[in-house]
Amino acid sequence: MNKGKEGGAGPYAGMTFSTVHDDGVNALLEGITKARQADPTVQYCIEQPATSAMKDMPEVIRILGEGVKVYGCAWGERRSLKPYRLWLSPATAEIFHPIHPASPLSRCEECKAGIVHTQAMMPAVGSTQGRVSLPGMSGGAARNRVPPRLAEHVGLAMRMASVTAREARRGAST
């Protein structure tokens, strides 16, 4: 999450990107570009922590844009304000509607009440917040899990965008 960023916290903070990392991101971008050139109705979603170094990579910004920042707690389950960044295909982005954590549509009672979350990814020293956890999951799995309702929402937007794009393409060819 903090690779390439000086002064960040965590085991990778301040480290340089490896060629394996760069090759992986470039392969992902090339795959999306080729798939969309072959079939513009192909939809995609790439998810990363909102502050991941990927958001600052010039080739990501050039091909995918800046992405949209969302908070997992708005979709329920997570008891922390962990933000995610989603890079969505253009048609999916038109359909996807982020939910603000304090919105009446939000499932986060803490945000709606304006109180501190009961859990945090990295609680501050002396904080009463616990680390993110979910029953039956390891700490790493709980911290890295995308809330299922968020994944459902994105998946539905992708499906709707795909169907709409295919119908428009069929209509244009007749």
Give one DSSP letter per residue of the chain, joined into a string: --BT-TT--STTBTPPPPHHHHHHHHHHHHHHHHHHHH-TT---EEEEETT-GGGG-HHHHHHH-S-EEEEGGGGSS--S--EEEEEE-HHHHHH-----TTSTT---HHHHHT---SEESSPPTT-SPEEP--TTS-HHHHHHPPPHHHHHHHHHHHHHHHHHHHHHHHHHH-
User: What would the pLDDT profile of 43-86 be if each residue is shown by its tens digit?
Assistant: 999 999 998 888 999 999 999 999 999 999 999 877 788 899 99
CA gap 17, 128 in Å, rounded: 35
Residue 174 included in any domain: no
Domain count, the chain: 1
Classify residue 171: in a domain, yes or no: no
Residue 25 lies in a domain: yes
Residues in the chain: 174
User: pTM, whole model, 2 decimals?
Assistant: 0.83
Provide the domain limits for residue 81: 19-166
The answer to whether residue 88 is domain-embedded is: yes
- Residue identified by tokens 């908070």 is 71
**47 in any annotated domain:** yes
| Residue 10 counted as domain residue | no
Per residue in 120-172, pLDDT (tens digit) is 888 889 999 999 888 999 988 988 889 999 999 999 999 999 999 889 888 87
Residue 154 resides in a domain: yes
The answer to whether residue 118 sits within a structural domain is: yes
Place of tokens 């304006």: 114
